[in-house]
Amino acid sequence: MPDVVISGTGLYTPSESISNDELVEAFNNWVDQENDLNREAIAAGEVEPLAKSSSEFIEKASGIVSRYVVNRDGVLDPQRMIPRIPDRSNDQMSIQCEMAIHAARGALAQAQVDATEVDMVIVACSNLQRAYPAIAVEIQHYLGCDGYGYDMNVACSSATFGIKAAADAIQSGSAKRVLMVNPEICSGHLNFRDRDSHFIFGDACTAVLLEREDLVRRKDGYKVVGCHLWTQFSNNIRNNFGFLNRGDEEGVGKLDKLFIQNGRRVFKEVCPQVAKHIAGHLESLELTASDMSRLWLHQANLNMNQLVARKLLGREPTAQDAPVILNEYANTSSAGSIIAFHKHSLDLNAGDKGVICSFGAGYSIGSVVVERQQG
Ligand code: CO8
């Protein structure tokens, strides 16, 4: 079977961002308005007053300091708290396609590959803006790629599952060059009026170009040493939004049609599983954690990443061991581990190995062990 190489990565970062303080101010203004509206019922003990959010809590509980968003005004307007994303006509490029094309151009340039040489496009992300046609086919059209494309969704693990699908396609001979993109507009499905989760997500798009090893022009890319995927059903992270919602009018607009999670349970159940998953994957490749120069982990929670890295390495991880980008980006779902890889992979030497690992709803975990190639 031919080897597969990650020869390029790209990142699109929206131009607008929101700091914790700005987000908390909007949330607390809304809380004041709601409590004022319910003043009498609260005084009579019939209604519990809503509690305020705090920047200190957010940074301490998650490590998040700010997040990029496709639109900040709509999110920060206490009367709305939903991003403003105007509909586009069918003749215009969709917003997810536009983000993906920005990120894809970066990956193609790094790999010195022309879009016409790509013969497969995979869009792998948590939320797709429409049912069909597939966003991947639209990207294929606007970039001028050959072959075929499709969309897939494994929530936060979409990118690593997408890399596995791309590597399988190349190794089986279905494709030679695969563009795998992760256009995540998490602000679209986040309840900015939920104190427990309003701070968690941000928007971004990543792109990864994978090529058959004998075709690469950029010689110092990363060979895919192995991929390992795992899923187990859980309701602890869930979103019931879908095309059947209109079949029950009473459910339309209810809070379960947005992101909901039991964050504590997720933290407790997923962390040990991730460490076990990576250790098992490395063992199957006759490697150990000490052979890894870097862990590019899913970026959901700083404490979570430190716990996973500590369990794996058996010591306190340094910033070099497991780079963090969630302070600036928050959780960008499937894009997170790829942003970490994109920003923190150029300094490794030929022969150095690392693991990209994402985890999230499903539950799902995907790990990709990679090795830096000689330039
Ligand atoms: N401000 C101040 N205080 C707060 C706030 C707030 N905003 N929120 C909660 N508190 C209080 C609580 O009321 C509680 O108070 P008390 O102790 O008096 O009861 C206290 O703080 C502690 O609350 P928690 O136990 O909830 O806090 P945690 O320490 O557990 O931290 C986290 C909460 C940060 C959510 C943490 O549990 C966490 O990060 N868990 C893991 C989450 C995770 O990784 N999820 C993965 C989801 S992503 C994914 O799979 C993709 C989904 C698809 C994306 C779609 C886009 C929207």
335, two tokens: 């894009």
Structure tokens given for 355: 């693991």
Query: What is the average pLDDT across 100-119?
Result: 98
pLDDT tens per residue, range 260-269:
999 899 989 9
Nearest alpha carbon, ligand 1 atom 38: 263
User: Which residues contact residue 283 at a Cβ distance below 8 angstroms, ignoring those fewer than 6 apart?
Assistant: none
- Measured on CA atoms in the order 181, 185, 191, 194, is the torsion positive or negative? positive
Rounded to whole angstroms, the Cα distance separating 270 from 362 reads 11
Query: What mean pLDDT comes out for the span 76-83?
Result: 97
For range 139-153, the mean pLDDT: 97
Q: Is 258 in the pocket of ligand 1 (CB under 6 A)?
A: no
The sheet that has 364-372: what strands, in order across it?
148-152, 120-124, 177-185, 203-212, 4-12, 222-231, 364-372, 353-360, 292-297
CA R_g for the chain: 21
Q: Candidates 331, 364, 365: which one to mutate for ligand 1, based on the most atoms within 8 Å of Cβ? A: 331
In the 3-class helix/strand/coil scheme, how is 239-298 assigned residue by residue? Answer: CCCCCCHHHCHHHCCCHHHCCEECHHHHHHHHHHHHHHHHHHHHHHCCCCHHHEEEEEEC
What is the number of the ligand 1 atom nearest to the C-alpha of 331? 48
Residues 37 and 83: their CA atoms lie apart, in Å, by: 24
**Per-residue DSSP letters for 119-178?**
-EEEEE-S--SSSSS-HHHHHHHHHT--SEEEEE-BTBTHHHHHHHHHHHHHHHTS-SEE
User: What is the CA(319)–ligand 1 centre distance, in A?
Assistant: 23
- SS3 state at 366: strand
Please report which confidence band the pLDDT of residue 375 belongs to, taking 50, 70 and 90 as the band edges. confident
Chain center to CA of 310? 22
Average pLDDT of the residues of the chain: 97
31 C-alpha vs ligand 1 centroid, how far in Å?
Answer: 18
Model pLDDT, residue 29: 97
Give pLDDT tens digits for 154-175: 999 999 999 999 999 999 999 9
> How far is the CA of 237 from the CAs of 7, 70, 230, 253, 258, in angstroms?
33, 23, 16, 18, 11
Q: How much is the average pLDDT of 60-80?
A: 97
| pLDDT at residue number 271 | 87
Query: Is 222-372 assigned to CATH 3.40.47.10?
Result: yes
- Spell out the domain ranges in the chain: 222-372
Tens digits of residue pLDDT in 4-24: 999 999 999 999 999 999 999
Average pLDDT of 42-54?
Answer: 97
Indicate whether residue 16 lines ligand 1 (CB < 6 A). no
Q: Whose CA is nearest to atom 9 of ligand 1?
A: 196
> Residue 263: CB within 6 Å of ligand 1?
yes
CA distances, 294 to each of 110, 219, 290, 331 (Å): 21, 20, 10, 20
Contacts 24+ apart (CB under 8 A), 346-351: 348/293, 348/294, 348/372, 350/220, 350/374, 350/375
> How would residue 253 be classed by pLDDT, with cut points 50, 70 and 90?
confident
User: Can you tell me the distance from the alpha carbon of 324 to that of 299, in angstroms, rounded to the nearest whole number?
Assistant: 7
**pLDDT level of residue 38 (50, 70, 90 thresholds):** very high
Q: Is-catalytic flag, 357? A: no
Given the residues 156, 186, 205, 271, select the one marked as catalytic: 156
CA distance 233 to 231: 7
List pLDDT tens digits, range 173-182: 999 999 999 9
Cα distances (angstroms) measured from residue 147 to each of 93, 106, 120, 184, 199: 20, 21, 6, 24, 40
Ligand 1 pocket check for 264: Cβ under 6 Å = yes
